[in-house]
């Protein structure tokens, strides 16, 4: 992994090939969410992932946040690395919404949305957007409010997460440890809470903007879904009844359920990652 910086944005490049994949992480994640994918690229490919502003080593970058601002940053990174017309754009979770916004403004050889990017249903009347975010993200938000006596304690917090039970590996541990900052005895996540709140409000209220972005994409578009959710619950983040209308509305959308994974393990389990890599590179 080679590390660089673009206007305060931390970027990391996996692989050395001339074909470039630009990759965007989720709402409380970091560029290391793409570590397992980056390590499994075939010869001839490289993957450029970034810490979005308010996350990882880009945490010090100021707001405003929100997927439209992140999409601007993504295109800036693409320009910096010289991503040409044969480049691929991908995003996981919230990163898929960011990728869709960027892909609506620039054509790519292909785009792959990983368990995200399809607009969520409007919130019921009277439901607060922040409360809805709290209900959806649960433990992911809880960890942002806590400090931890050691890196091992933070790792143990993640090991207790339902999505990672029985699925722990070196890639997950590297992802978790990358997120830590702060003094000994009071370690914390690098993620800026206000960035998560602003991004979450957009996801819960900007359905029209998210949908317009999908309809504006001209690049070949792939959607990979996990059948299980953020807490490994049996209903995924993008169930059939949510995605089916979009599959009908976007006839070029190639919608695929990746078996036996959840919202997180689709990015870390060997078998699931293999599918993601194949769709990114056109190998499968």
Q: Which CATH architecture has domain 2-121+192-281?
A: 3-Layer(aba) Sandwich (3.40)
C-alpha to C-alpha distance for 31 and 36, rounded to whole angstroms: 11
Per the DSSP assignment, residues forming a β-bridge with 222 are 112, 254
Q: How far is CA 259 from CA 54, 83, 169, 241, in A?
A: 32, 32, 19, 18
- What residues in the chain have per-residue pLDDT under 70? 284
Cβ atoms of residues 146 and 238 within 8 Å: no
Where are the domains positioned within the chain?
2-121+192-281
Per-residue pLDDT tens for 84-143?
A: 999 999 999 999 999 999 999 999 999 999 999 999 988 787 777 777 777 777 777 778
pLDDT > 70 in the chain, percent? 99
- pTM surpassing 0.85? yes
Give the per-residue pLDDT at 284: 61
Task: Output the pLDDT for position 195.
Answer: 95
The tokens for 51 are 């810490």
Burial of 83 (0-12, 13-18, 19+ CB in 10 A): buried
Report residue 165 as tokens.
């039970």
């Amino acid at each position: 992994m080679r590390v660089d910086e673009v206007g305060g944005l931390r970027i990391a490049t996996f692989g050395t090939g001339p074909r470039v994949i630009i990759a965007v992480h989720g709402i409380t994640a970091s560029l290391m969410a793409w570590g397992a994918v980056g390590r499994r690229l075939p010869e001839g490919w490289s993957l450029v992932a970034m810490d979005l502003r308010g996350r990882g080593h880009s945490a010090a970058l100021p707001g405003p946040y929100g997927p439209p601002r992140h999409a601007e940053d993504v295109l800036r990174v693409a320009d910096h690395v010289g991503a040409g017309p044969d480049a691929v754009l991908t995003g996981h979770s919230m990163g898929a919404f960011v990728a869709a916004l960027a892909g609506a403004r620039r054509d790519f050889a292909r785009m792959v949305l990983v368990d995200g990017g399809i607009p969520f249903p409007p919130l019921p009347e009277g439901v607060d957007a922040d409360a809805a975010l709290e209900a959806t993200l649960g433990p992911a938000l809880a960890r942002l409010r806590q400090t931890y006596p050691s890196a091992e304690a933070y790792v143990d917090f993640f090991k207790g997460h339902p999505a990672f039970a029985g699925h722990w590996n070196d890639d997950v541990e590297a992802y978790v440890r990358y997120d830590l900052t702060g003094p000994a005895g009071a370690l914390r996540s690098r993620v800026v809470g206000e960035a998560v709140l602003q991004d979450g409000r957009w996801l819960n209220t900007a359905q029209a903007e998210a949908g317009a972005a999908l309809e504006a994409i001209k690049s070949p578009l792939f959607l990979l879904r996990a059948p299980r959710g953020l807490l490994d619950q049996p209903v995924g983040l993008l169930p059939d009844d949510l995605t089916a209308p979009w599959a009908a509305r976007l006839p070029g959308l190639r919608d695929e359920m990746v078996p036996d994974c959840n919202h997180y393990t689709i990015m870390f389990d060997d078998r699931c990652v293999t599918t993601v890599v194949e769709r990114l590179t056109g190998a499968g």
